[in-house]
Amino acid sequence: MRAISFKALLISNLAYFIILVLTLFAVTSVIVAAVFLTADARSLHGAIAELRASPPIFVFVAVVPSAIAALVAGYMAARVAQHDPLLNGALATSIAVLVDLYELVHGPIYAETSATVAALIPGFDLGFLFLAPLLAMLGGYLAGCRQTSDVPSAALRQRMRGFGMGRVG
């Protein structure tokens, strides 16, 4: 239990949801702007309803923000914890994984109107259950690489300073 940083756990889970909301807003805004620019004023409502029901858009809107949020949250967890970057990175999505586990067992939290999208939700939840901790662990790994790359360069500089003054090692 000493390897888990509770401060990193709290901060990274909160950051995950904040980043998820921001990226969902950005991706949805881009999609709606693209529909708005390409559709007529008369068919705008129909185009948005049709777009919302299409599986590729659902996958894009669901997967991209979740992946970005998991990667950044894992990176933040590892940087805050400053030890065990893979473990703390993987735990950065623990609350989101618990919510997805709840959805898999008890059904979706909110009712989806499109039958096609409703059929995709369990598959997305199952994939997210395994991929979110792996992406967060990748973020922790990247933070760990950054933390370990700073240490040898500092040790090398210290060694070179001692070498210049006539001392060795």
What's the pLDDT at 61? 77
Q: What is the pTM of this model?
A: 0.74
Helix orientation angle between 55-81 and 44-53, rounded to the nearest 10 degrees: 60
What's the pLDDT at 158? 57
DSSP-assigned letters across all residues of 2-49 = TTS-HHHHHHHHHHHHHHHHHHHHHHHHHHHHHHHHHS-SSSHHHHHH
Q: Which of 161, 26, 15, 147 is nearest to 77 (CA)?
A: 15
Residue 165 DSSP class: T
What's the pLDDT at 169? 46
What's the pLDDT at 153? 57
What's the pLDDT at 10? 92
What's the pLDDT at 82? 85
What's the pLDDT at 114? 63
What's the pLDDT at 112? 60
Split the chain (169 residues) into runs of 10 and give each run's mean pLDDT.
83 93 87 76 68 70 87 93 89 91 77 65 82 93 79 54 50
In terms of C-beta density within 10 A (0-12 exposed, 13-18 middle, 19 or more buried), how is residue 24 classed?
A: middle
Tell me how far apart the alpha carbons of residues 7 and 138 are, in angstroms, rounded to a whole number.
20
CB 139 within 8 A of CB 78: yes
